[in-house]
Amino acid sequence: MQRLLAFIERDLRKFVRNPIVVGVSILMPIIYLVILGNSFQGELKNLPLVVVDRDNGPSARRVMELLRVVESGARTVTITVMADEGAAMTALREGECKAVLVIPSGFSRSVERNTVVELGIFLDNAETISAATLQAAVTRAVTQLKSGRVAVREERGRVLLRDVEIYRKIDYDQTLIPGVVIMAIFLGAMMTGAFNIVMDKFLGVDESYLLTPLTKMDMVVGLVVSGLLITTTLAVIVLVLGSLISGIYLWRMLTVPSAFYVLAVITLSTLGLQGLMFVIMGRINHPRIVGVLGGFLNVIFFFPSGAIYPVESFPSWLKAFALVNPESYSVHALRALFFKGAGLEAVKGDIVFLAGFAVCTIVAGIFAFKRTL
Amino acid sequence: MKPAIEIEGLVKKYGEITALDKVTVTIPEGDCFGLLGPNGAGKTTLIRILTTLLKPTVGTARIGGFDVVRQSADVRTVIGVVPQAMTSDLDLTGYETLDIYGRFYNMPSSDRRERIDELLSLVGLTERAGDLIATYSGGMRRRLEIARGLVHKPLILILDEPTIGLDPQSRHVVWELLEKFMKLDRLTILLTTHYMEEAESLCKHVAIIDYGRIVALDTVEGLKKQIPQKDVVEVTIANIAMEEAVKFARGLSAAPACASRDDVLIVSSDHGAEMIPVLVDGLKGLGAKVVRVILKEQTLEDVFIHYTGRPIREEEAKKVSFLLGAGIPTRLGR
């Protein structure tokens, strides 16, 4: 035990003497939260739309009014009115707007006569998400034009849907918090534990302690424990800062037991990833390879975790990967604990998986680690 | 005397390359044993096998009575090692390093503190013990690493080129330290070195290793006596052509080897002192002016070159992945 504690102390002392690493470990997930939260924001906004009104009749004016409501309300679009259809199409091709809506001449007359009317919308479909959003916004506005003239009650078969959210209102950047915590854990696991073995090999320092009575277990468990202490601390700091930035008050959302479960999920996720890093990096001897692997592993674990996009919407092969991805379970558990007020029953499956994953990877890491040069 | 290190028929192969070829050596307790050899001769491979970092392909080695393969954990408790490269953690202080390494050997805290203070004083680092190693000079780091190798009072200290890269002053300090520890702790020392002066000043016995084989093993004096023409006479001459002087010297039966360097005639002989008047008189008889005569004894370096050939040897090229460079798992590439 004295040897193990000495090895842990050696690693912790080296880490705290590199404060820049501590700072980057905290800042990176926070920057990720701020940038991703503000760039995605759930719904798209301020998409530039050019309207060419060749009708100038009452219905055309009504369409414009409805679009202006969208512009000032949900702010999905920013409207520019142009008289020349050719200039509008040039603007679309040159990327100055995302769509051109053409209201043809005779539009108001056709609406009055209740005949089939068509509006032309030209979309920049090189950006599919913007195109789909604009099409939906314009369609909603035009539908309201018709419903304004036809009483809803006379429209049989039409179903009105009133949505009821069962949890409190959650902003997009708040939904990123579990992912940001998991990212902090991943970064912590990358920069501690097995990475220190790689750096020791690279610097030639490993030879000095391989010559001592330290066992494989002393070294692997020692680095996992020091990595756990560092990473858990960083993840908790990131959780607190991220929550404050996104407007979540943890002390209101978490009960004492759920705070304990959050800590358990963070701890088990860290242990699992630390063990996994030993399996993957235990025999690598150059930090350049760790740099390449780090980016790759972050992508393959983080994006299929459900932190950004729901796992249910993945293609079947990616769903299968998500089933064995420890970060999927971490995100699921943290989301349930943060936003749904869930108890142990809701997250015990995640905790069991994460615990099993941690045990398997640490044992495999001890076997994979080579005690000779 | 009980052997501290027994090596019997040790072979180490890396694929087709034989790094060690049937090495057999016994080092008695209390000896200071030097292992000399050119680059790539197998010195570091042998040290790494003895220190349990590598496994031999064939053969056995016992350190302090423990087998290096089957009892590697026991071996590590009786040896102290100073590796060739500087291996101390730059982010730790000198004191922390010794304390942490003392704990790796399960030393009780009171013994540890006492030993660390003693060692820091002996290696002259007491004043700098609280500073980060990153602030130390190369000589200070080497002294600290010697102290680290001795913190647990090992029976055998193994040093792999301990003074490589150090300036002459630091090198002499390290030699003095090793002599001091040999007397104080009654250590057995095994060291590899490139510096003949180091081996001559520290070692009782020396083995020369080349291409993985022990080619000579004796005391320093014994080795010097093993090579023929142990004396060298250097005669600086003028007024006659060097070819004429060399031809004359070769005609002398007592001077079987001769060569020249600029205006210096170099004659090797078993009886250098007796050769001097014969050479001087003969050269004068040829019309030469004898400017200077020097009689030298062969050095350990001459012995080394006698057994290993050229003084500089290129090492075998290491295998490095074309795709990944040096950063790959060792088993795949090196």
Q: Which of B63, B62, B97 is nearest to B78 (CA)?
A: B63
Question: A199 touching B, CB under 8 A?
Answer: no
CA distance B165 to B229: 33
pLDDT for the residue numbered B333: 38
Q: What is the DSSP letter of B181?
A: H
Side-chain-side CA neighbours of B303 within 13 Å: the count stands at: 29
CA of B124: how far to CAs of A282, B115, B119, B139, in Å? 38, 14, 8, 11
CA distance B117 to B108: 14
In chain A, residues 76-105 whose CB comes closer than 8 Å to chain B: none
DSSP, collapsed to helix, strand or coil, labels residue B77 as: helix
pLDDT for the residue numbered A150: 36
Burial of B309 per CB tally in 10 Å (0-12, 13-18, 19+)? exposed
Q: Which of A14, A2, A356 is nearest to A197 (CA)?
A: A14
Q: ipTM value of the model?
A: 0.75
Give just the sign of the alpha carbon dihedral B42, B145, B195, B313.
positive
Side-chain-side CA neighbours of A177 within 13 Å: the count stands at: 27
The tens-digit pLDDT sequence of chain B (334 residues) is: 678 899 999 999 888 888 888 989 999 888 889 998 888 888 889 999 999 989 999 999 999 889 999 999 999 999 999 888 888 888 899 999 999 999 999 999 989 999 899 889 888 888 898 899 999 988 888 889 888 988 898 889 898 888 877 778 778 887 888 888 887 777 888 988 878 888 888 888 889 888 888 888 888 888 877 777 778 888 898 888 888 888 888 887 665 677 788 888 888 877 788 888 888 888 888 888 888 998 887 777 777 877 777 544 555 556 666 666 665 554 443 3
pLDDT for the residue numbered A164: 57
Tokens of B223: 């080795």
CB contact under 8 A, A13 and B325: no
CA distance B20 to B81: 20
**How many Cβ atoms from other residues are within 10 Å of residue A339's Cβ?**
17
CB contact under 8 A, A284 and B87: no
- Where are the domain boundaries for CATH 3.40.1710.10 in chain A? 47-165
Per CB distance under 8 Å, which residues of B are interface residues toward A? 48, 51-55, 73, 76-77, 79, 81, 83, 85-89, 91-92, 96, 100-101, 103-106, 132, 145, 148, 324-331
Strand partners, B296: B232
CB contact under 8 A, A13 and B92: yes
Measure the N-to-C terminal CA separation of chain B; round to a whole number of Å.
Answer: 40
Contact by Cβ (8 Å): A366, A281: no
**How many Cβ atoms from other residues are within 10 Å of residue B157's Cβ?**
23
Contact by Cβ (8 Å): B321, B333: yes
- Closest to A211 (Cβ–Cβ): which among B76, B96, B329? B76
pLDDT for the residue numbered A148: 47
Tokens of B136: 């130390």
Tokens of A166: 């069962």
CB contact under 8 A, B87 and A286: no
- Closest to B85 (Cβ–Cβ): which among A204, A215, A288? A204
pLDDT for the residue numbered B216: 86
pLDDT for the residue numbered A297: 87
Compute chain A's Rg from CA coordinates.
28
Q: Which residue of B has its CA nearest to A285?
A: B327
Helical H segments across A105-151, by residue range: 107-113, 128-147
CB contact under 8 A, A14 and B73: no
Q: Say which amino acid occupies A326.
A: P
> Strand order of the sheet with strand B289-297?
B257-261, B264-269, B231-238, B289-297
Vertex A204: Cα angle to A198 and A210 (nearest 5): 85
pTM exceeds cut of 0.90: no
pLDDT for the residue numbered A264: 92
pLDDT for the residue numbered B254: 61
CB contact under 8 A, B73 and A215: yes
pLDDT for the residue numbered A335: 84
- Closest to A2 (Cβ–Cβ): which among B85, B96, B106? B106
Pick the CATH number of A47-165 from 3.40.1710.10, 3.10.180.10, 3.20.20.70, 3.40.50.450: 3.40.1710.10
CB contact under 8 A, B87 and A208: yes
Question: A5 touching B, CB under 8 A?
Answer: yes
CB contact under 8 A, B81 and A211: yes
Low-confidence ranges of chain A (pLDDT < 50): 148-160
Q: Collect all residues of chain A within an 8 Å Cβ-Cβ radius of residue B87.
A: 204-208
CB contact under 8 A, B103 and A204: no
Contact by Cβ (8 Å): A353, A326: yes
pLDDT for the residue numbered A162: 53
Question: A293 touching B, CB under 8 A?
Answer: no
Strands B205-210 and B32-36: parallel
Contact by Cβ (8 Å): A27, A237: no
Q: Which of A285, A257, A271 is nearest to A343 (CA)?
A: A257
Q: Collect all residues of chain A within an 8 Å Cβ-Cβ radius of residue B52.
A: 211, 372
CB contact under 8 A, A205 and B83: no
